[in-house]
Amino acid sequence: MTSVLYDVPGPRAIRRNRILAVLTVIVVLAVVGFVVYRFAATGQFTADKWRLFTYPLVWENVWAATLRTLSAFGAAAVLSIVLGLVLSIGRVSVHAWIRVPVMLFTELFRAVPVLILMMIMYYGLPPLGVTFVTPFVAVVTGLTLYNGSVLAEVFRAGIESLPKGQTEAGYAIGMRKSAVMLYIQYPQAVRAMLPVIISQLVVVLKDTALGFIVTFQELLYLAKFYGAQVTFGSPIIPSTIVFGTIYILLCLALSGVAKWVEIRTRRSPRIARQIKAIPAVPGVGVGGAGVID
Amino acid sequence: MDVLLNNLDIFVEGFKNTIILFVVSAVLALVLGTIVGAMRVSPVPVMRAVGTFYVNLVRNTPLTLLMFFFAFGYPKLQLGNLSFTTLAIIALSLYTATYVAEVLRSGFNTVPVGQAEAARAIGLSFGPTMSLVILPQAFRAVIPPMMSVFIALLKNTTVAAGFSVAEAGTIRSYLAERGEPAIIVLLWVAAIFIVLVSILSVIQRRLEVRWRVAR
């Protein structure tokens, strides 16, 4: 490990590190042990509480809820990327009457909590006579407006990181502005930003769980429903464990893709150089830490 | 405007609780996040492994699910009564701490190794190397992304609304009982959030300009 923080350890440091390692193990075991003990003491591991999850019908419903979660995620992901592309084009426009409204739009929707956006759709619009707002529509719209705005900034950061010579070369060989964008700027920007874009999609996937609050019948909604079944001893904790595992596996899979893409792009020296040059846009960074929730 | 002025009591109460959730969770997340971040850069492999596991697990869990566990699952464990607000603060802190830890870690990574080598080369020992060379640079690099984490935390406090914690997100349901139109109430809530987030953004930009590390 090359670290800026520590030297190669000498004999005393090695001994100290061993003691710290043992202490960490003890503390972690104590915490995990306590949680497991409380689970056991309150009967969370009894067969009765888990019996619910032995029925095939239950798993069919779980599967259906997973599909609903994934369809909300898929729709929101595609629409966010489209919206992000459109907004990022507007953001770099030379016409102030396009640039300024687009800037206000992105700043506005980045500042409003996603849940409030969903509530505006779900509770706010129907009394005004808007009838098509199902929970699904509310969830997808909320996610799209927010993540589209975030992705617009990501695309913009990607374009701004390109060396100026790239655009100039495009104009020099007689390309129009649209061609420069389509063939020169965006392909490079998207490729450099791919890890950040996918990491932001993990945020979309996680935030579909907010749909539970506006009565969208996705995984968490079902978790609460099954957790409240009195006939099975209200297995809310077993239910949280089962549904939590599903969520974590889905998100880990997507995070894994992001990490894989990042390693692959880093292997290409040209893109790696470009990623390094990406300016510090507030909240947008490379390496996962800058992804906004 | 009438909707806001006539129901100022509920708006003030709601946003007061939002700010309490925000401030308390921010402090707890900073403390826990610093510990986890330190573990992730420590020279002890076991500590690094534990830190990495925690960060990867929690960052891939929806916040709503964490809140769900603390709001509905925790009471079943018979560990003593905690208010929903306290439980929401625990969930928010545990969740935000992972982001704090990642920001701190990436802050250390922005300091070139050559800086530490140079410090050692001129004879500084561990303490001065840290406090005079590395930490000041890491700290400055960390400020802007850390503010982004706090902005996200502020917005995330609304999730507590789904679990009967009275804050900004629940203003709608209170005012629905008073017969106020939902859309106007929600637009006011959104507007206040925009103001609060803008304040944090302005602070972020100021600090970013002032504390930029020239390299």
Q: Where are the domains of chain A?
A: 1-41, 50-287
A76: enclosing H helix or E strand: helix A56-91
Q: What is the CA radius of gyration of chain B?
A: 21
Give me the pLDDT at residue A115, please: 92
Alpha carbon A172 to its chain centroid, in Å, reads: 40
- In the three-class reduction of DSSP (H, G, I as helix; E, B as strand; rest coil), residue B122 is classed as coil
Query: Residue A165 half-sphere exposure, CB side, CA atoms within 13 Å?
Result: 1
pLDDT at A283 over 50: no
Q: What is the mean pLDDT of residues A26-33?
A: 95
Fold of the CATH domain A50-287: MetI-like fold (1.10.3720)
Q: Which of A204, A292, A286, A192 is nearest to A251 (CA)?
A: A204
- Identify which of B105, B148, B189 has the shortest CB distance to residue A116: B189
Average pLDDT over residues A186-214: 91
Q: What is the model's pLDDT at position A179?
A: 93
| pLDDT(B203) > 70 | yes
Share of chain A above pLDDT 70, in %: 91
Q: What share of residues in chain A are helix, strand, coil (percent, to 5)?
A: 80, 0, 20
* Largest Cα span, chain A: 75
In sequence order, the 6+-apart residues with CB closer than 8 A to the CB of B39 are: A24, B47, B48, B50, B51
Q: Tell me the β-bridge partners of A281.
A: A284
Q: Residue A51 CA to chain centroid, in angstroms?
A: 33
Which fold is adopted by the domain B20-166?
A: MetI-like fold (1.10.3720)
Q: What is the CA radius of gyration of chain A?
A: 24
Q: What is the pLDDT of residues B32-70, one digit of tens each?
A: 999 999 899 888 899 999 999 999 999 999 999 999 999
Interface of A with B in 203-242 (CB under 8 A): 206-210, 212-213, 220, 223-224, 227, 234, 236-237, 240
pLDDT recorded at residue A274: 63
- How many C-beta atoms surround the C-beta of residue A164 within 10 A? 8
| A266 neighbors A272 (Cβ within 8 angstroms) | yes
Taking contacts as CB-CB distances below 8 angstroms, the residues of chain B near A293 are: 63, 99, 152, 155-156
Chain pair A-B, CB pairs under 8 angstroms: 200
Residue A87 and residue A105 in contact, taking contact as beta carbons nearer than 8 Å: yes
Q: How confident is the model at residue A281 (pLDDT cuts 50, 70, 90)?
A: very low
Give the CA angle between residues A215, A218, A221 to the nearest 5°: 60
Q: Would you say residue A287 has pLDDT above 50?
A: no
Q: At residue B91, does pLDDT exceed 50? A: yes
| pLDDT surpasses 90 at B107 | no
